[in-house]
Structure 1
Amino acid sequence: MRQRFKPWAKEKLAEHAQIAVADPAALKGKWHEFFGNHHPIHIEVGTGKGQFITGMGTVNQDVNYIGMEIYDSIIVTALDRIIEAELPNVKIIRENAQKLTEFFEEGEVDRVYLNFSDPWPKKKHEKRRLTHESFLSIFEHILVDEGEIHFKTDNQGLFEYSLHSMSKYGMTLNQVWLDLHASDYEGNIMTEYEEKFSAKGFRIYRTEAQFKKR
């Protein structure tokens, strides 16, 4: 879906550098110091407008959350939500997931969330999928030993691909939901896309996958 360009977004993000981190590479290995505590660090890759990350930050005050999104005009809405909710445990960065190892030390992150990632359905675009082995190796590097990826999507093809990719990589699928909203799973925080798709009757798929011990 095409997003409306907001020419003022970059300036607004710069005005709130304590939330929208302008130079995440400078905080590599220092994120706990930046947050001012030693709570677990969870990141959401592709945070969009921030509904999930702010929801999680609200109900889990003892966890530090970082949302990553590449577009200024989208992530500025996440900034507004964080400001409105007054969440010191939620930060955002406008960067690409391919650069994660530039921003986080090995084992600095406790969990990665991938919510409704772009499915990149064409075979020639396979390497762009966030559950491709090249991205899994990036996530494994920044995650703690036996760290987890929590993945949600409405796209059955992407979900099947991701389960296969994660299993082939050597990850353990601790939990798999083939119809999340029809299950007894508690505490689900919905993203904007999840609300939209589930309202149309789309099935929501979810898995919790864990890397093997180093």
Structure 2
Amino acid sequence: MRQRHKPWADDFLAKNNQLVKANPMNHKANWQAVFGNENPIHLEIGTGKGRFLVGMAEQYPDVNFIGIELSKSVIVTAAQKIIDSELDNILLVNMDADKLCDVFAGDEVSTIYLNFSDPWPKNRHEKRRLSFHTFLEKYRTILNSTGEVVLKTDNRGLFEYSLVSFSAFGMKLEDVSLDLHQLQDPTNVMTEYEQKFSEKGHVIYRCRASFIG
């Protein structure tokens, strides 16, 4: 979906640089110090408008959440939502996921969330999928030994592809749900897309995967 350009986004981000980190590479291996505590770091790649991050940060106050979003016109909405929430355990980074290893050190992250990522359905775009093996290599680098990747999507093709990709990479699949909302999981925090798609009757898929060894 094409996002409406917000010409004021740069000024907003500069004004709120304590929340949206302008030079994230400067904080590599030091993110807990940025938060001012030793709580685990959870990372959402493609944070969108911020509903998931805010909900998770409310539910887990002893976890530090970082949201990565490439679009400035989207991340400003997430930033405003976080400001309004007055939560202090969320930070945002305006960057491409390709740069993960430039921003996070080995073993620095405990959990990575992939929520309703672009499925990139055409074969020639496979390498852009966030469950493609080159991204999995980055996740393995920055996750700690007990870290995991949590994926949610309404796109069955992407879900099936991801399960195969995780398995082929030697990851252990856990909590594979073919109808997440049927489980009525009280800990599930919905994203904007999740609510929209579920209201249309779409099935929501979820899985957790961890690296072995």
Is this a same-fold pair by TM over 0.5? yes
Please indicate the TM-score interval, normalised by the length of the shorter structure: over 0.9
Which aligned pairs between 1:82-161 and structure 2 lie closer than 5 A? Answer: 82-161=82-161
- CA drift at 1:186: 2.5
Contact 2:110 2:146 in 1 (8 A): no
Name 1:172's counterpart in structure 2.
Answer: 172
Name 1:195's counterpart in structure 2.
Answer: 195
Q: What is the CA–CA distance in structure 1 between the aligned matches of 2:100 and 2:194, rounded to whole Å?
A: 25
Contact 1:146 1:212 in 2 (8 A): no
- CA drift at 1:147: 1.4
Q: What is the CA–CA distance in structure 1 between the aligned matches of 2:143 and 2:194, rounded to whole Å?
A: 26
**Unaligned stretches of 5+ in structure 1?**
none
- CA drift at 1:82: 0.6
Say yes or no: does 1:78 pair with 2:62: no
Q: What is the CA–CA distance in structure 1 between the aligned matches of 2:50 and 2:87, rounded to whole Å?
A: 12
Q: What is the CA–CA distance in structure 1 between the aligned matches of 2:103 and 2:36, rounded to whole Å?
A: 18
Which aligned pairs between 1:39-58 and structure 2 lie closer than 5 A? Answer: 39-58=39-58
- CA drift at 1:124: 0.5
* Identical-pair percentage: 52
Say yes or no: does 1:5 pair with 2:14: no
Normalising by structure 1, we get a TM-score of 0.98
Deviations 1:131-190 (A, max 9, x none): 000000001100001310000000000000000000010000111000000114221100
The letter for the 1-side match of 2:12 is: K
The letter for the 1-side match of 2:53 is: I
What RMSD over aligned residues (CA atoms) do the two structures have, in Å?
0.7
Higher alpha-carbon deviation: 179-188 or 135-144: 179-188
Number of equivalent positions? 213
**Unaligned stretches of 5+ in structure 2?**
none
Say yes or no: does 1:23 pair with 2:23: yes
Deviations 1:40-91 (A, max 9, x none): 0000000001110111011111000000000110000000011000111000
The letter for the 1-side match of 2:72 is: D
Deviations 1:10-52 (A, max 9, x none): 1101111110000000000110110000000000000001110
Normalising by structure 2, we get a TM-score of 0.99
Q: What is the CA–CA distance in structure 1 between the aligned matches of 2:187 and 2:10, rounded to whole Å?
A: 33
Name 2:207's counterpart in structure 1.
Answer: 207
Q: What is the CA–CA distance in structure 1 between the aligned matches of 2:146 and 2:179, rounded to whole Å?
A: 26
Name 2:59's counterpart in structure 1.
Answer: 59
